[in-house]
Amino acid sequence: MSLFRELRSPSCVLVSSLIFLFAIAVGSFPVNSASGDERKSVDPWPSSQTLEPAKLAKMLTDKYLSVPTVVFVGFRSLYVGGHVPGAAFHGTASTDQGLAELQAWAATVPRSTDLVIYCGCCPFDKCPNIRPAYTAMSSMGFKKLRVLTIPTSFAVDWAGMGYPMQKGM
């Protein structure tokens, strides 16, 4: 019976309550223990609709591979400074006007077009352009829509790797 009385003592109840509250708090906040490819995605596209920079670079340089239509959806100044060769610019997807320009262009494109969109302005998970562009193009019915995955920036993950570039409009 003495153990039962000890467990009901104010200090034991306080410690038990604190442990319980701590357990609830820990369970309430997500812990990012995943790394690399294991990270949970909140992206609107499935992983099957992503394209690695090395693969796109190979598509651009291998005459036996078909080249997709590539569209830059980031900021005009970054496009002018350097972009994937042949990539088109039809507006910055993070602005209403830019997204409308992109959608106006897309309205003229067959839905079966092999289409790759990319930005590269900043770390991929923080990019303000790629998700609105993907969502708009996907809702327009593009069947072969992919996103070029640029984890850090275009400067690091494309130019820094020595892949081909084009400058200007």
Which structural domains are found in the chain, ordered by start?
42-161 (3.40.250.10)
- The beta-carbon contacts of 151-156 under 8 Å, at least 24 apart in sequence, are 151/123, 151/124, 152/123, 152/124, 153/120, 153/121, 153/122, 153/123, 154/74, 154/78, 154/82, 154/83, 154/118, 154/119, 154/120, 154/121, 155/120
Indicate whether 24 pLDDT > 50.
no
Which two tokens mark 37? 């490819």
Mean pLDDT confidence for 48-56: 92
Indicate whether 28 pLDDT > 50.
no
Per-chain mean pLDDT for the chain? 81
